[in-house]
Structure formats: C-alpha cells, structure tokens
Chains A and B, each alone.
Chain A
Amino acid sequence: MNGKTLLLQTLASAVPYAFAAVGGTICERSGVANIALEGAMLVGAFAAAAGGLASGSLFVALVSAFVAGGAFLAIHGLAVVRLGVSSIVSGVAMNLIAAGGTRFLLRAIYGSSANSPTVEAFSASGAGRLILPALAIVALAATLFFFRKTALGHWLVAAGEAPEALVATGHSVAPIRFWAVVASGALAALGGAALAVDLRQFQGGMTAGRGFIALAAVILSGWRPGRAALACLGFALLDAVQVGLQAEQSGHAELLSAFPYLATLLLLIALGKRAGERTPRALS
C-alpha cells in the first residue's frame, strides 16, 4: 500500500467515525451520556440501504438515515430526559434493539440473514463519492460554530455543566437535552449511512463497534468536536493500516482489530487524572 492509497483510505474511513463523534459531542455536552451511538449508526446504515433500494436515489437514502437515526434516539431521549431512566440502561437496550431489529428487518424484507441486495444508487463515482465526506466537514464546522457563536450552543453547554444556572435564567433543560440526543442520533446515522454507501449494501452488524470508538474519541478529546474529529482521523489511520496489513499477511488480522481499543485504553491510563477532568459536570 503506497502513501496516497493509505491517505485516501484513512480519509474515507474517518467519515463514519467523524459523524458519530460530532453527534456524540453535542449529546454529551448537554449532559446525557450516549453509548447508543453504535445502535444509531446501525439503524442509519440499514435505513440508508432500505431507502436507496426503494427509491434508487442517494439523496433519499441519506434523508432516510438522518430521519431514522433521529427518531430512533428520540426514544433514548424520551426515556432518559423525560422519564428519568439511566442513560446507560437505556443505551444498552437501544443497542440491543438496533442489533436485533436490523437483523430482523433484513430477514423480513430481504430474506437474508447476512446482507441486503446491492444498492445501485450507491454506485456513483466521482463527485457522488464526495457527498458524505463533504457533509461530515460541514457538520463539524456547523457544530464548532454552534458551540462558539450561538446562544443555543451556550445554553446546551450550560445544560451539561450547570443545569441549575440555566433554570435560574428562565430556560428549560429538558428540551435542550432531548433535541441534543435526537441530533446525535441523526448525525451518527449519517455515519452508518457512509458505511453502507461504501460497501453498497447493508450487512448485519456492519458498524462493528465504530460507535463505541467514536464515543472513545469524544472522551479522549475532552468533549471538543475539533479534537474529536482529529482523534477519529487517528482511529481511521489504524483502520487503514490494518486493511493494508490484512491484504499482505493473514492471521494477525484478529489481533490488529483490537489495536484501536487497546491504544485507547492505554492512552486513557497514560493521561492519568487528566483523562476525566473535562467531563461535563452534570453528565450522567
């Protein structure tokens, strides 16, 4: 694998992570922990494939993923923000429902337990391939702007740091948190859609832990979207190296797939006390 292929492979692999990590930052900064990013990505990947197959249009596929991911995590938001369920308990349940539900629908609609038919709408070459990377950059830039320059962005950060202060100034915490959760689902789902577009089909369990990696990127970055996106590039580079090595020598591929997780764990240990110090104060 030469340098140019590695670079392109890295940038392509970073897109799904980046969407989920940007979504995860928005959600967690509002004070709601989100381990359901993984499930939302899976739902997005399925919705994109189903939308693409039904309509033959990439645009419809992406809108389907965006809406389905938002609606899916709206359940998480409702349970956690409105009904007071622990975000961890709800998150585990959402991931179970996403994993089981997409496989169920795969068998129910396409009669396969492994993958959907090939989505012709995803076969676009040239400019069509650039839509999702471009959207990811737009999402990142918009989120940075949102946090720094908009009143709503400041309120969202307040909801995660000092909700009582927000209440004291006459704002409500619950709607901000709810919509932050929904936004994270919609964005993570676009990340899942990027995976489906890349492989031109949906495969059962195709996110393979990428939502969790994105969450790790959020935490490693200290809940800052720009740095989270950089961490995603790092994880994507590990992915790309792994793909390259897989092609050259089989057998060690399994061990290499543990590398991003091991690297994160070691990095967290190495960071010491600093690892948790930027945690939004009201995050739970």
Chain B
Amino acid sequence: MNRRVLGVVMALLAAMILFECVVLGYGESPRAVLRMLFEGTWGSGYGIGQTLFKATPLLFTGLAVQVGLRAGLFNIGAEGQLVVASFAVGWLGTKLGGLPAPVAIPLLLATAFVAGAAWALPTAILRLRQNVHEVLGAILSNRIADALVAALLAGGAAIKGTVHTADMGAGCMLPRLGAFVPALGASAASLALPLALVVVAAVLPLFRKTAIGREIVLSGSNPTASTAAGVPVGLRRGLAYVASGGLAGLGAAATVLGYKGYYEQGLGSGAGFLGLAVALLGRGSFFGLALAALLFGTLQQGGLAVNAIVPKEVMDVFAGVVIVAVAIADRWVAAVPPVKTPAAAQGAA
C-alpha cells in the first residue's frame, strides 16, 4: 500500500516538473502561475466551491470507470453516457414544472441512471456476445451521442437560436451548497457533491460484500475459472458495464440539476475521459477516488484561473501526462514482468 502511494506521488511529481517546463517554455514564471492556480482554486471560498463543483462529475465518472475495471472492462464511453443522460434529464426537467422536489429529483436521478445505462448497453452486448472490444463500441457510442443530441437540440429541443433547452421546473434543481455554507458564496457546488460521496461509499463495498459483486470481480480477473465455477461470466460483466454507464450518467446531477438548470451542448464534456484518470489514481478506495477527483477538479478550475497568462489547454496535457506517469509508476511499483491488461480485457481493438 505504501509503495503504491509512493509511486503515485512520484508520478505526480514527474508530471509537475514537466508542467513547470512547459510554463517556463511559454516564458512565464512557474511560481507566478502556481500562485495564480492556487488563488483561483483553494485561495477563496468561491474558488473552493468551484473546485468542488468541478470535482463532482469526476467522482461519478471515476466511480463508473472503476466499476468497469473491476469486471476487466474499460469504460471509455462515460463521455457519451454522460451526454445522453444530461440531455435526457434537461429535457424531462422542462416537463416537470409543477412537481415538488422530493418527487422530481429522484425521478430525474433515475432517468439519468437509466439513460446512461441504456447508452452503455450496445457496447456491452458487442463485447460480451461478439468479442468486439468495448473500447471500439464506446468510441462509436460517444460520437453517436454527440451527433444525436446536437440533432435533437437543433430539431426543436433547444430554445430557438440557442444550443440549450428551456429552464427546468423549480422543483428539479438541487440546492447549492452555498445555501448551507455561506463561505462558498455563489459557487456552483451543490448537494450533488454529498450525493456523489454517498454513491461512491455505497457502491465500492458491493464488490466485497455481495455475491454478485464478488462474481463480477472474479469474472473480470479470471473468466475461464469463473465459467468453470458456474458463474455466468457474460451476464456479470455486462451488468458491471451497464451499471458503469448508469453511474456515469448520474454525473448530470452536478451539471444539469446542481448548476445550469437546463442542458446545454458541451455541458460536462471532458468529465468522461478524466474519469479514467480519476479511477487510475484513486485505485478503488473511497479516499483515493475522492482525492483524485479533487486533484483533477483543481486542475480544471485552475486551468480557468491561469488562462489569462497560460492557455488553459495546458491542463489537458498535464492530465494526460499524469495518466501515463501513474500507469508507469504502477508497473514500477508492482515490480513484476509487464502484464498488459487483465486477461479478460483482451479482445478486438
């Protein structure tokens, strides 16, 4: 455990040094940029609130990717699952004008989960029935989600002349955290954050404490042995992948229900791919996932804070470097001959 933490810390340090080099190469002082990054994120109540807001969808997508990984499947489709769920929630919200919050919110959350899960289903079927790699199915599904939602918005779901839906009913919004903790000010952090933490805390133990959860892990790590033991491997892994899609869809709670109050094209984009980074860094523990989501939330918010002097895209580069560095550190720490993917994750890609 300690060696793993050490590996992650070293990977982060290496990524940090590379980041400093980029800033230097850009002709800015790394210290000034770092100070600006800190002040824009953890330096004020509002900044903290915004950082927590950015971290919230990442908690959902990070958990989603983690659930897939337990079954030996990469959910690269979290991006599209979140798009479809966000649109579905935003659209349904406009129809729920008169409903009180205790009815509307659970209904919308269920919709987000079902929409995300449904979008993951074709990929799961292709992978488990036809041995077409889930990454290909997910990539195709992501692109179809973008185009389909854009077409629906253009075709009448959006207010004319805009790319967003109408405002949802009053009972559809999740209250902002600023209403309970005045120090957070007008930041976009909402009750979606405690909701995300509860979901993470509730889902992770399922893999240890329930029979189905243990069968999923077994199916992911050793499908041959699982089949011999009578576990319905395809069903278990398919269930994990579809549930992963549902969890990614729940990310809409932070963006649509907690922040905008409507769906807008591009809302929440990038959270799906960063979910992979969060899952890799978080290594399946509650605190790991929470810290990783906070780190990438800080980077996203920090990117906006430093944008005036260094283009914010540098944060995407940083995220990519962190992913590779952590993955390399993993191998180094494990100190075993390279094994590429879990045996079960092999297929057509």
- Which residue numbers of A lie inside 8 Å of B, CB to CB? 28, 33, 35, 75, 79-80, 83-90, 92-97, 99-101, 103-104, 107-108, 113, 209, 212, 215-216, 219, 251-252, 254-255, 257-258, 261-262, 264-265, 268-269, 271-273, 275-277, 279, 283-284
Contact = CB atoms under 8 A, between A and B. Distances in A.
B338 A265 contact: no
What bracket does the count of chain B residues touching chain A fall in? 35 or more
B151 A252 contact: yes
A268 B340 contact: no
8 contacts: A89-B276, A89-B280, A90-B323, A215-B136, A216-B139, A261-B147, A276-B348, A277-B131
B130 A268 contact: yes
A16 B123 CA distance: 26
Nearest to B126: A268
A92 B223 CA distance: 25
Contact of A283 (B141, B313, B330, B346): B346
Given A84-B340, A272-B130, A35 B313 contact: no
Interface of B: 22, 26, 74, 76, 122, 125-126, 130-133, 135-137, 139-141, 143-144, 146-148, 150-151, 154-155, 273, 276, 280, 311, 313-317, 319-321, 323-324, 327-328, 330-332, 337-341, 345-349
A107 B27 CA distance: 13
Given A88-B341, A89-B323, A258-B148, A269 B316 contact: no
B147 A88 contact: no
Contacts of B347: 276, 279, 283
B348 A219 contact: yes
B142 to A, nearest CB: 9
Given A108-B311, A254-B151, A261-B144, A268 B132 contact: yes
A275 B313 CA distance: 38
Contact of A212 (B130, B139, B328, B340): B139
Nearest to B311: A107
Given A33-B349, A80-B340, A279-B348, A88 B141 contact: no
A100 B130 CA distance: 34
Contacts of A93: 319-321, 323-324, 327
Given A276-B131, A283-B346, A255 B147 contact: yes
A269 B129 CA distance: 10
A35 B134 CA distance: 12
B325 to A, nearest CB: 9
Contacts of B148: 255, 258
B314 A104 contact: yes
A82 to B, nearest CB: 8
Task: From B136, B155, B276, name the one whose CB has the most chain A CB atoms within 10 angstroms.
Answer: B136
A243 B26 CA distance: 39
B341 A284 contact: yes
B143 A261 contact: yes
Nearest first, the 6 closest Cβ-Cβ pairs linking A and B are A84-B338, A100-B316, A258-B147, A276-B131, A97-B320, A96-B320
B111 to A, nearest CB: 22
A276 B139 CA distance: 16
Contacts of A101: 313, 316-317
Contacts of A89: 74, 276, 280, 323-324, 327
Contacts of B132: 219, 268, 275-276
A103 B321 CA distance: 16
A96 B323 contact: yes
